[in-house]
Chains A and B, each alone.
Chain A
Amino acid sequence: MAAQPEVRELSGAEMVIRALIDQGVEVVFGYPGGAVLPIYDALFKQNRLRHILVRHEQGAVHAAEGYARSSGKVGVVMVTSGPGATNTVTGLTDALMDSVPVVCLTGQVPTHLIGNDAFQEADTTGITRPCTKHNYLVKDVNDLARVLHEAFTVARTGRPGPVVVDLPKDVLFANGLYLPPESAPARKSYRPQAKPEASRIAAAAQLIMAAKKPLFYGGGGLINSGPRACTLFTELVRLTGFPVTLTLMGLGVFPASDKQYLGLVGMHGTFESNNAMHDCDLMINIGARFDDRVTGKVAAFAPHARKIHVDIDPSSINKNVRVDLAVVGDCAEVLAALLVELKAQKYKADPARIAPWWQQIETWRKRDCLRYAKSDTIIKPQYAIERLYALTRGRDVFITTEVGQHQMWAAQFFKFDQPFHWMTSGGLGTMGYGLPAAMGVQLAHPDALVIDIAGEASILMNIQEMSTICQYRLPVKAFILNNQYMGMVRQWQELLHGGRYSESYTAALPDFVKLAEAFGAVGMRVEKPADVDRVIKEMIAVDRPVIVDVAVDPAENCFPMIPSGAAHNEMLLGPEDKQASGPISEEGMVLV
């Protein structure tokens, strides 16, 4: 089917393959079934697209997310109708919340059976409407090429997100005309605003020049905008000499090893970041969305700050927090314009003006908020991550995580100096994200060291993907911080529910070493602090998939913590703070 003249008719299924190739797709994560058999047949007859056979459709979407977030390309998923489609819903919602570009092709029963409760029929566009950026049901093969190209445009541009294209089986068999991407008509109603208004840039520059206690607050929008945005952000931060904090989704957009970096912000962010957020007089939010995990109690959020908010999505602006200056546009465009404007204004950093602010920040830093009680007898989870970081430095390392305490410790203790190397489920908080995501990352970066920092509960949610990982010989490492608890649940129960550990202990965990071996991977277990380094080195040395079961302290809690409903300057710094701050407010209790 190579280089056919444009006018030749193709079947719908052939068009799907052709459109994917024309869109530059190299890898598709999928799972076959009756409704998509024609596409699988067309797939069989070509060798340009690589299909990765997952073990569960949720895994396919998370894999596509990991692939997309680590490579900047669109992740592609292909599943059958009914259960195949419904199994993608968690992944799609995850991609929507974290703005990850994914195109998901779903099979559908033939058009004449739609609405009849046919075998494996589900109202896929109905079910996925609230969890996609956009979705389509293609009823005419002559619309197919246009829709597929549009799906990629919508997924990739503006604020990226997941797009579903539902494909009835008769449309896949029908013949029609194929349009290449460049001749597909553009959608008139879809026009994301990339270029910012000049007057807003000028106003932002004025605020920057006047600030005495400024703070940059960078987020995942910088990652989505791309490498140029991250470089320009770093340039701007260095030009000004201002402190910078990053959201969970933004880790790596500014080097963590830089003195200007204050660490993670938010519920488990650093003391210096959160206090700087609270006390600053100018907050420059670039590509973050004032998520409730970041703001804490909105009424007490940064009460003295003028706020600038740069976002490509106008609906993010003034949603949770009222800002003083909104700049709608693509982060890279905005940053480039801002740098030009500052140059035109002959801006020079004024260290004297912000020196008292930095002195204040240094006093917060001295609290050394990530300090934890070390132990010779039991492995502290923080220690395991510190060693993992230390022993993997200098390599091309990508980290994914599951959801829970281990995720927060990974965000606190693994330092990222580059963007695109950290993949986590931030918005939805999906347990089971990390292992399939790591699989997707490894496919995009075959020679890199890809590690899923996991919890023992989370990883069981998509453990079946070990089978995929082994099939394709992907040397993914699962580094499980095994505390035998749903640790984050246990921590909230300890702090908020009188230590009643209702259903947060997993009584019958599998033997992860044997489990690894059963899948055909390598299993390792470490129980003593003294053995941690050796096992990590062994893990790195093995050029195969590995599960490392790290037996960590089951009682450890993740600090600092802003209790729900509290303000940034009311953080708990460690176990000793628990009582001092008194019980959590009723208002706070109802928050998630």
Chain B
Amino acid sequence: MTAPEIVEKHTMAVLVDNEPGVLARVIGLFSGRGYNIESLTVAETDPKNKLSRITIVTSGTPMVIEQIKAQLNRIVPVHGVHDLGEEGPFLERELALVKVTGGAESRAETLRVADIFHARVVDTTPESYVFEMTGSTDKLDAFINLMAPLGVVDISRTGVVAISRGSGKF
């Protein structure tokens, strides 16, 4: 083989008809052809035209990334595939709900860390907090790492959603 090619991470926005089976087609493509999914989110974004937007974070060599895009485009209900990094600067956000149940002695420290990260308290009991936090995946990871010793018991994350900067579409 030729020199090993570098593996790149790509974030793609895939616009699809919101119909039964469409997500299974996308996921089946990734599993069937052995591509990576680091994160995948989906929701309807254009109710009038019944379109959903799938945001996929994937990784692979440039040749594999090119294949992934071509293969996604081939799926009949797919309207378009946008490789966000390739089309210009873009924003990525993820949301996490983090439940922390430290003892009384760590409650103040827990709130201090949350404050630094601008995490919001969305539920409180004498024994627990639930924080809501949005940000890049890295920022969420950092927050969760700092919270871990303070008694994190549960985490729920949305996966990445992304949009281009500026006035362009996607």
Binding site for B on A (CB under 8 A): 125-126, 129-130, 133-135, 137, 154, 187-190, 299, 313-315, 317-319, 322
Assuming the contacts A129-B21, A137-B20, asked whether A313 and B76 have C-beta atoms less than 8 A apart, the reply is no
Given the known inter-chain contacts A318-B63, A319-B67, please indicate yes or no for A130 contacting B79, CB distance below 8 A: no
Please, could you name 29 A-B residue pairs with CB atoms under 8 Å apart, sorted by A?
A125-B21, A126-B24, A129-B21, A129-B24, A129-B25, A130-B28, A130-B32, A133-B76, A134-B76, A135-B21, A187-B76, A189-B16, A189-B17, A189-B76, A189-B77, A189-B78, A189-B79, A190-B76, A299-B1, A299-B2, A313-B74, A314-B70, A314-B73, A315-B70, A315-B73, A315-B74, A318-B66, A318-B67, A319-B67
B71 within 8 A of A: yes
Kindly state the separation between the CA atoms of A322 and B62 in the bound complex, as whole angstroms: 11
Bound Cα distance A78, B141 (Å) = 53
In angstroms, Cα B21 to Cα A129, docked, is: 9
Distance in angstroms from A224 CB to nearest chain B CB is 15
Enumerate B1-43 residues with CB–CB distance to A below 8 Å: 1-2, 16-17, 20-21, 24-25, 28, 32
Report the bound CA distance from A313 to B28 in whole Å.
19
> Closest residue of chain B to A136, judged by CB?
B21
Contact A315 B63 (CB under 8 A): no
A318: chain B residues at CB < 8 Å are: 63, 66-67
Q: Complex Cα distance A129/B28, Å?
A: 8
Whether A315 and B76, one on each chain, are in contact in the complex, defined by CB atoms closer than 8 angstroms, is no
A322-B20 Cα distance, complex, nearest whole Å: 36
A-B contact count (CB 8 A): 41
New A-B contacts (7) at CB < 8 Å, excluding given A314-B74, A319-B67: A125-B21, A129-B24, A137-B20, A187-B76, A189-B77, A189-B78, A299-B2
A78, B78: Cα distance in complex, Å: 28
Query: Which residues in A have their C-beta under 8 angstroms from that of B17?
Result: 189
- Complexed CA–CA distance, A188 and B77 (Å): 9
Complex: chain B residue closest to A313, CB-CB? B74
Most buried by A among B2, B21, B32: B21
Shortest distance in angstroms between B67's beta carbon and chain A's nearest beta carbon?
A: 6
* Nearest-Cβ distance from residue A277 to partner chain B, whole angstroms: 19
Which residue on B lies nearest to A587, using beta carbons? B1
CB of A314 to closest CB in B, whole Å? 5
**For residue B63, which residues in chain A have a CB less than 8 angstroms away from its CB?**
318, 322
Shortest CB–CB separation between residue A329 and chain B, in angstroms? 15
Closest A residue by C-beta to B79:
A189
**Least Cβ distance of B125 to chain A in Å?**
39
CB-CB < 8 A to B2: which residues of A?
299
Instruction: Kindly state the separation between the CA atoms of A317 and B70 in the bound complex, as whole angstroms.
Output: 9
* Complex interface: chain B residues within 8 A of A129 (CB): 21, 24-25, 28
Closest-CB distance, A134 to chain B (whole angstroms): 4
Q: Which residues of B contact A133 (CB under 8 A)?
A: 76
Chain B contacts for A154, CB-based, 8 A: 76
Residues 59-70 of chain B: 1 if any A CB is under 8 Å from the residue's CB, otherwise 0?
000010011001
Complex formed: what's the CA distance from A135 to B24 in Å? Answer: 12
The 6 closest A-B pairs by CB, nearest first: A315-B70, A134-B76, A189-B79, A314-B70, A315-B71, A190-B76
Give every chain A residue within 8 A of B67 (Cβ-Cβ).
Answer: 315, 318-319
**In the complex, how many angstroms separate the beta carbon of A410 from the nearest chain B beta carbon?**
32
Chain B residues contacting A130 (CB-CB under 8 Å) are 28, 32
How far is A314 from B74 in the complex, measured between Cα atoms in Å? 8
CB neighbours of B78 from chain A (8 A): 189
Digitize B64-105: 1 where CB-to-A-CB distance is under 8 Å, 0 elsewhere.
001100110110111100000000000000000000000000
A188 to B51, CA, bound (A): 11
Q: What residues of chain B lie closer than 8 Å to A299, measured between beta carbons?
A: 1-2
Q: Nearest B residue to A163 by beta-carbon distance?
A: B76
Residues of chain B with a CB closer than 8 A to A189's CB: 16-17, 76-79
A137 and B66 alpha carbons, distance in the complex (Å): 31
**CA separation between A133 and B76, bound complex, in Å?**
8
Rounded to whole angstroms, the CA-CA distance of A68 and B78 in the bound complex is: 27
Task: Give the shortest distance, in Å, between B169 (CB) and chain A (any CB).
Answer: 16
For A314, give the chain B residue with the smallest CB separation.
B70
| Alpha-carbon distance A126/B76, docked complex (angstroms) | 16
**CA A79 to CA B139, docked complex, whole Å:** 54
